[in-house]
Amino acid sequence: MPDGYHELRTVMQTVGLADEIAIECKLGEGVSIEAGRPYLPGDERNIAAKAANAFYSHTGIKGNHTYIAIKKNIPVCAGLGGGSTDGACVLRALDRMYGTGLGCETLEMLGNTIGSDVPFSIEGGTKLAEGRGERLTDLPPLPHCYVVICKPPFSCSTPELFGLVKCEKIRARPDTEGILIALEEGNLGAVARRMYNVFEDILPRGKQEITKIKGIMLDNNALGSVMTGSGPSVFGLYEKKEDAQNTYDLLKENYRDCFLTHTINCIKSDVQ
């Protein structure tokens, strides 16, 4: 696209894996961050701080110092949108705390100023994302299922992977239109069979590990398994919890970052 980004067309889905965020507002100025990991920025480079500053800039609210503590449960640089969900959570939480009633459309607009995946994370559920990820279309919810997520012991650079994409050389793509039809029909198996991730074909490292994890998931009755986002995390969809549990138990023996969760139709903030 003219701005240097690639045009996306992808179906996004919320699951139950989540970070935990505590926010405290007192008299004063500025935003301070307890990032939850020593290698994550604890200043205004953190997407949670960017979200708070975007909220205050839009609403004109002043005179408050905002302290944000993040407990990271979502692996970092894993293709799971952990930073984006943190930014979205801060926007939703501040909107509720101050009673500003901005609504999803305005919050998504603010989210778009701080990260391409933040608008989706405002409301979540099942959505078609286009453009940089900011153009969202509501879809029928993915039928409830169990999800096993496994991140191998390496990370992928999103800018590096996008830099390797040669659109004219892409050999295979997800059947997005087929997925949309399957969602209309409420057919989980048909959705799973049509999933694909073009980034798997251009990984500069770790492709064998991705293939190994996918194989374990499919051998244990996953309806489908692909890498998520820019990776390297892999997910599998399961109708039966016992199949998901068996897969999780097997993978957990060799992979630290492994999770058993489920799909969620929309995001709800528990603000106290």
Domain edges within the chain: 8-137, 146-264
Q: Tell me the torsion sign for CA atoms 82, 88, 91, 93.
A: negative
Coil vs helix vs strand at 25:
strand
- Check if CATH label 3.40.1440.10 holds for domain 8-137: no
In 10 A of CB 159, how many CB atoms?
A: 8
99's enclosing H/E stretch is none
Written as one letter, the residue type at 261 is T
Q: What pTM does this model have?
A: 0.91
- Per-residue pLDDT of the chain (272 residues), as tens digits, is 676 667 788 999 999 999 999 999 999 999 999 998 888 999 999 999 999 999 999 999 999 999 999 999 999 989 999 999 999 999 999 999 999 999 999 999 999 999 989 999 999 999 999 988 889 999 999 999 999 999 999 887 766 766 667 666 667 788 999 999 999 999 999 999 999 998 888 787 788 999 999 999 999 999 999 999 888 999 999 999 999 999 999 999 999 999 999 999 876 555 44
In 10 A of CB 100, how many CB atoms?
A: 15
- Nearest 5°: CA angle at 113, between 108 and 119? 25
Q: Which CATH superfamily is domain 146-264 in?
A: GHMP kinase, C-terminal domain (3.30.70.890)
Cα–Cα distance for residue pair 129/140, rounded to 1 Å: 14
Coil vs helix vs strand at 126:
strand
Coil vs helix vs strand at 94:
helix
- The alpha carbon of 211 is separated from its chain's Cα centroid by a whole number of angstroms, namely 21
